Amino acid sequence: MNLKFFDQAAGYLPDICFKNPPDLGILLGSGWGEALKIDEVLVRIKYADIPGLGASTVKGHSGEFILYRHAGKLIAAWCGRRHYYEGAGWEPVVLPVEILRRMGCGTVLLTNASGGINPALRPGDFVIIRDHINLVGANPLIGPHVEEWGERFPDMSEVYTKRLAELLHASANKLGLRAMDGVYAYTSGPCYETPAEIQAYKAQGADVVGMSTVPEAVFACACGMRIAGLSLVSNLAAGISRRTLNHEEVMSAGESAKPSMSALIEDFIARL
């Protein structure tokens, strides 16, 4: 990856972003953009203004960076993400995590919307990611080794931190929300999966499927960050659902679950 890309983006952010390490970094996926409760905004910047990042091209991603305080915590939130399928390479995809690393942030919450594969799941459920399957056959760490990003061959035995998963479960239980541990299957997109592919992923142990999160998780894990992964089941995957799939269904599920998403993140933050 091009290190100058990250240098230029970091150089655009005001100095206050690097004064104190955030207690938590959050990357909000489809439908999660209005899940934050904010006491005080310190910095708000549109993605389109950050060199190299560019405006989000996907509905449901507001495309702005917010540094804010809530419940006594300093939080850096990326409202929306760039995806590998957009064709701009890995740099925009992992840039939020690299900026968090440069800010000194050691803990990150990655959220997304996914298709349910496990028959126990239904739209509106939450899946706390315990592991993932990279079905893309590509990795953001491919290329010259950058020492600041950890070892050349980083261990991926525990990408998602168990203690953070326990906190998410505690929050979900307190709020009475349906949440289960699960394995997230990562595909490149932008097309949805075929029914045969979904059955193959199910046989491999996947509970949900989506087009994000794993690149950021791999990068963050290599850098030594603590990671929580949280997925909203927005629809049932192809062949499990009898309906054709579309992004409007994803957005509708996010809209319906907005109060639960917001409450879950807020309670999680309070437990950190």
Write out the catalytic residue numbers. Answer: 30, 61, 83, 85-86, 113, 211-212, 235, 247
Q: What's CA 257's distance to the chain center, in Å?
A: 17
214 Cβ partners below 8 Å, 6+ apart?
132, 134, 136, 184, 186
- Biggest distance spanned by C-alpha atoms of the chain: 51
- Per-residue HEC secondary structure of the chain comes to CCHHHHHHHHHHCCHHHHCCCCCEEEEECCCCCCCCCCCEEEEEEEHHHCCCCCCCCCCCCCCEEEEEEECCEEEEEEECCCCHHHCCCCHHHHHHHHHHHHHCCCEEEEEEEEEECCCCCCCCCEEEEEEEEECCCCCCCCCCCCHHHCCCCCCCCCCCCHHHHHHHHHHHHHHCCCEEEEEEEECCCCCCCCHHHHHHHHHCCCCEEECCCHHHHHHHHHCCCEEEEEEEEEEECECCECCCCCHHHHHHHHHHCHHHHHHHHHHHHHHC
Q: Work out whether strand 24-28 and strand 107-116 pair parallel, antiparallel, or are unpaired.
A: parallel
